[in-house]
Copies of this chain bind each other. A is one copy, B any other.
């Protein structure tokens, strides 16, 4: 079959640099700081095995049968009790549906809320995967800048006022790609501005529970009496991404419509997977699991920051996150980081992601930025890889 005519909406998609990188990463000598996966060692395999066996033996036939689109009820209850309520979100069950990964939440919300040309506001930089969802729905994507403390609220208000975005998408805690966490006052301001300018906010929080130090900050969602903030949580970083289980909490009217759309996407999220997540929470395993996986992540983060302090040139600044999976770097000089990425892989056998991937447009200002992931390398690999990367950076800077 020749000349297949694809839909117009697919024309705007960009292929992910992270996926392009995949072919180089099969080389076992390459040290990769490019992905965003949780550490393989973090998965509670034995607990999942025990839970799964118990579930199949007690309600196997129910779990292997079709389930309800809005979600497996015991998971919705367990999520509210063990995750949402402790964050200050003790909502009723009609405020939560389950998802096949939180990416699905973005897809469903776009499907039920966006007409082509509607404006979606994102942070600059933001999660590249989210940008592709908004592109598929042919949104007019605009972005708000961040300073060291995250979203710049004055600029946000200006954009809310002049561009009337339908949706504002943000990751306020340990943001991907920057690792930045928004303070309490800015969170309150965002909620107030969303109300004032009639914007629906998607608050994506996959990393919030990966806090290694400092005090937890509550979700923006708790400052939302008007029920216009939709809060996404995922089991991908605290239990397993391979199970594809996440939750969406918010306005029941929007969730009901999202369920209608979900019915026509994947009918429902796999029951067994939802039941595993529910049991993991109900058996009280999450706190112990986090207590086990967070210290190694902290060691990896601290090792990387120390190595960067030691080896990176002084014209390179970077974030010092208290959690999450990412560090964000920025050169004060105009450097093409995509070229640098290929050089790093070929000459130094180290991989990272150039920052442009995470911006809507391609401006010069953003050329000198990059993202590093610390969760998938050993301490030795981190020390070695950052030393090599520092050597390359110094060389290129000196040119």
Interface residue ranges, A against B (CB under 8 Å): 1, 4-10, 13, 15-16, 37-38, 40-41, 43, 45, 48-49, 52-53, 56-57, 60-67, 100-101, 103-104, 106-107, 111-115, 129, 132-133, 136, 166, 200, 226-228, 236, 240-244, 251, 253-254, 257, 260-261, 263-273
Q: What residues on B are CB-neighbors of A43 within 8 Å?
A: 60-61, 64-65
Q: What residues on B are CB-neighbors of A37 within 8 Å?
A: 65-66
Name the residue on B nearest A38 (C-beta).
B65
Contact of A48 among B1, B64, B261 (CB under 8 A): B64
The distance from the CB of A268 to the nearest CB of chain B, in whole angstroms, is: 7
Interface pair B45/A64, CB less than 8 Å apart: yes
Starting from the known contacts A49-B57, A136-B261, 7 additional A-B residue pairs (CB-CB under 8 Å) come to A1-B226, A1-B227, A43-B65, A45-B57, A64-B243, A100-B270, A242-B270
Interface pair B60/A45, CB less than 8 Å apart: yes
Q: What residues on B are CB-neighbors of A15 within 8 Å?
A: 260
Q: Which of A65, A129, A236, A251 has the most CB of B within 10 A?
A: A65
Interface pair A267/B242, CB less than 8 Å apart: no
A-B contact pairs, 29 of them (CB 8 A): A1-B200, A1-B226, A1-B227, A7-B112, A7-B113, A7-B115, A9-B111, A10-B112, A10-B257, A38-B65, A45-B61, A49-B57, A52-B56, A65-B240, A65-B242, A66-B236, A66-B242, A100-B100, A100-B270, A101-B267, A103-B265, A104-B266, A106-B264, A107-B265, A129-B263, A132-B263, A242-B270, A242-B272, A244-B270
Complex alpha-carbon distance, A263 and B40, angstroms = 21
Q: What residues on B are CB-neighbors of A41 within 8 Å?
A: 61
Contact of A269 among B38, B57, B136, B244 (CB under 8 A): B244
Q: What residues on B are CB-neighbors of A132 within 8 Å?
A: 263-264
